[in-house]
Amino acid sequence: MDNNTVLQVNNLKKYYPVEAGFLKRRVGTVRAVDDVSFAIRQGETVSLVGESGCGKTTTSRCIVRAVDPTEGEILYRRENGEVIDLATIGQNELRPIRREFQMVFQDPFSSLNPRMTIFEIISEPLRVHGIGNQREREDRVADLLKRVGLRAEYMRRFPHAFSGGQRQRIGIARALAASPRLIVADEPVSALDVSVQAQVLNLMMDLQDELGLTYLFVAHDLSVVNQISNTVLVMYVGRVAEIGPPQALFRNPKHPYTAALIASVPKPDPFNLTERVIPEGEIANPANPPSGCYFHPRCPFVVDICKQTAPPLEEIEPGRFVSCHRATEIELMV
């Protein structure tokens, strides 16, 4: 792990038991995250993309230790250079470090407590971590509100007074309150109107520049991640399909699933909508995944080995990682 890396995730797994019947007997396992590795450098953004249920939220929640991973390492470099493994650290040791990584949630309507004032919401991390007195917290909240483009006097109001975009700005202010280094944002603009999405994304990018923040960003929409990411990680059924810089990945995908995802993005040309291609076939079930490459039942390039052996994630060019047996031999058109 080099000095510029803030987060290095190695072989992360999160399995959930499938239980059945009155006695809740364990009848199977959901492989929500099934061997995910990636790194994020200081001040950069890594985006996770993939179809619904591929494990994006579970990966994010493991990283902020909202859930305990089943296996793997989550190495986090603190400001003083100390490296700790968030996957295994005990709750007592975790407590003082928690303020350094914060989450922004998808739904700004359900993620803000309707009975709390904006001051109480934004200052909550300060209270939890015992930072500042009442006066200092009020000053901090006023400053944060201004930073996210809202008025300081809004701190006396309740969430219902605000639009979706404003609420998400409040959610971002809360995430920033305790001066974190790493922000994990789980589809922070998906619930917003398209016209508001760009404003919130621009705000997040400005804050990143100003404060030197490191982002893990989850998105459905490939066009969103193209603008904001240094690195894109495409997930399929709990596994990494491909990792690379967005321009290279979109222009020249190396994994058939990446190519299918790109093809599924609607074209801006209204006459072209019929050309929208959705990856054929059903997404695999993480409780009962196929053998070998999880994508093989849907892949137009499948050969025998794909059905037998899971392809390892290999670096085929500097910074580009692909898990496909045929990554270097097939030509993918987008």
Ligand X SMILES: Nc1ncnc2c1ncn2[C@@H]1O[C@H](COP(=O)(O)OP(=O)(O)OP(=O)(O)O)[C@@H](O)[C@H]1O
Residue nearer to ligand SF4 on the CB measure, 176 or 327: 327
Contact partner, 32, from ligand SF4, Mg ion, ligand X, none, Cβ < 5-8 Å per class: ligand X
Positions touching ligand SF4 (CB under 6 A) are: 255-256, 293, 295-296, 299, 301-302, 306, 311, 324-326
Residue nearer to ligand SF4 on the CB measure, 145 or 232: 232
What's the DSSP call for residue 191? T
Residue nearer to ligand SF4 on the CB measure, 101 or 295: 295
CA–CA dist 198, 204 (Å, integer): 10
Contact partner, 299, from Mg ion, ligand SF4, ligand X, none, Cβ < 5-8 Å per class: ligand SF4
Instruction: Find the shortest distance in angstroms from Cβ 54 to ligand SF4.
Output: 14
Is 290 an interacting residue with respect to ligand X (CB under 6 A)? Answer: no
CA distance readout (Å), 333 to 195, 255, 307: 31, 11, 23
CA distance readout (Å), 18 to 15, 26, 84, 228: 9, 6, 31, 37
Q: Which of helix, strand or coil describes residue 14?
A: strand
Residue nearer to Mg ion on the CB measure, 8 or 58: 58
Amino acid present at 271: F
Q: Which of 108, 165, 279, 286 binds ligand X (CB under 6 A)?
A: 286
**Alpha-carbon torsion, ordered 12, 18, 24, 26, to 10 deg:** -80
Is 111 an interacting residue with respect to Mg ion (CB under 5 A)? Answer: no
Instruction: Find the shortest distance in angstroms from Cβ 53 to ligand X.
Output: 4
Query: What are the two backbone dihedrals, phi and then psi, of residue 96, each rounded to the nearest 5 degrees?
Result: -70, -15
Q: Which of 54, 144, 173, 213 binds ligand X (CB under 6 A)?
A: 54
Instruction: Report the length, in residues, of the chain.
Output: 334
Lateral strand order in the sheet of 231-236: 101-104, 182-186, 214-219, 45-49, 231-236, 239-244, 320-322, 314-317
Residue nearer to ligand SF4 on the CB measure, 67 or 263: 263
Closest of 224, 236, 242 to residue 188, by C-alpha = 224
Contact partner, 16, from Mg ion, ligand SF4, ligand X, none, Cβ < 5-8 Å per class: ligand X
**Residues in 21-40 at the binding interface with ligand X, rule: CB under 6 A:** 30, 32
Express the helix, strand and coil content of the chain in percent, nearest 5 each: 35, 25, 40
Residue nearer to Mg ion on the CB measure, 57 or 197: 57
**Residues in 33-72 at the binding interface with Mg ion, rule: CB under 5 A:** 56-57
Residues of this chain that interact with ligand X (CB under 6 A) are: 16, 30, 32, 50, 52-58, 286
